[in-house]
Amino acid sequence: MPATLTLPGMHADSDADSDADSDAASHADSHANGHPDTRLHAVHADADAQARAARAWTVLDAVPDPEIPVVSIRDLGILREVAIADDGALEIVITPTYSGCPAMAEIAEDIGRALDQADLGPWKIRTVLAPAWTTDWITAEGRDKLRAYGIAPPARCADQGAPTRPLRFVPRHRAPGDTGAANATGARVATGAVGATGAVGATGAVGATGAAGATGAAGATGARASDNVTCPHCGSPDTEPLSQFGSTACKALYRCRACREPFDYFKPY
């Protein structure tokens, strides 16, 4: 078992490789010297390092996401790697989610605190940007936990369909033969101020997807028809997006047309 624990999808970086190589090298050197004490010491050091990294992995697996405390940073794929650096310090590799995610600083602090409390010795945190974090890295357990918490887990990025038509708040009133391409003011409903027909979420305007001329399944803001977001409360697939931006940057706001409950949808990224 290598001293470096890497998740699938993570390209092995040079640090990880050099750790494995240096361990092997120290083995070979000690053996060549024929110095049994050095060789035993090297073996013990290697085993210690492995144990320490494994323990760190277990400790960090329990570090929750600050925003969604039911999932851990490992579940979300934020925690990428746990290794022993050349100077003996634990090196924790994390990757940020959204560019502006404000939770990353807190996650780094939580990692440090967890490692200190477990007395796991000197540590350092390295943030890598590449390969770019993707919601595809969220584990199956993480998805189950999200769903149980009331957040619909993200569709696989590859499964995303083409964007659907935008929801119109003001139904088009078209004369026969009017294709809607003209700018003639006569074709437009003069209701006054923008948004006067109702805010997003008001069932009157938003619910009228039929009147908007959009297809039934299509509907609202950036809805991806093939995402098939299932309601985490009642399990119905009859859901509609209300806004592409929800309580945090990573989530969209949806509503279930069956049970009428709103819920967050973790956006594919």
Partner 1 sequence: MTATLSPTPSPLLSNLPLARTAGWQYVLRLADNALILGQRNAEWCGHGPVLEEDIALANISLDLIGQARLLYARAGELEAELTGRARHEDDYAYWRGEREFRNWTLLELPHSGPLAGTASSDRDYAVTIVRNFLYSALMVELWSALAGSRDAGLAAIASKSIKEARYHLHHGADWLVRLGDGTELSHERTQRALDHLLPYMNECFVPDPVEQEAAAQGIAVPTAELRPAWQATVEQTVAEATLTLPAATGFVSTGKQGLHSEHMSYLLAQMQSLARAHPGAHW
The site for partner 1, by CB under 8 A, has a size of 48
Give the single-character DSSP code of 170.
S
Distance separating alpha carbons of residues 165 and 84, to the nearest angstrom: 51
Q: Which stretch binds partner 1 (CB under 8 A): 11-19, 42-50, 129-137, 140-148?
A: 129-137
Binding residues for partner 1 restricted to 156-195, rule: CB under 8 A: 163, 166-170, 172, 180-183, 185, 188-195
Q: Which of 64, 150, 201, 262: binder of partner 1 (CB under 8 A)? A: 201
Nearest to 67 by CA among 229, 252, 251: 251
| By the rule CB under 8 A, 269 interacts with partner 1 | yes
Binding residues for partner 1 restricted to 225-244, rule: CB under 8 A: 242-244
Binding mask 10-29 for partner 1 (x = CB under 8 A): --------------------
Work out how close the CB of 18 gets to partner 1 at its nearest, in angstroms, rounded to a whole number: 19
Distance separating alpha carbons of residues 267 and 222, to the nearest angstrom: 11
Q: At what angle do helices 14-33 and 36-61 cross, to 10 degrees?
A: 160
Q: Which of 62, 132, 148, 211: binder of partner 1 (CB under 8 A)? A: 132
Cβ(173)–Cβ(187) below 8 Å: yes
**What Å distances lie between residue 197 and 4, 84, 131, 241, CA to CA?**
58, 60, 44, 18
Give the single-character DSSP code of 22.
H
Binding site for partner 1 (CB under 8 A): 96, 98-102, 129-133, 163, 166-170, 172, 180-183, 185, 188-196, 199-201, 221-222, 242-249, 253, 267, 269
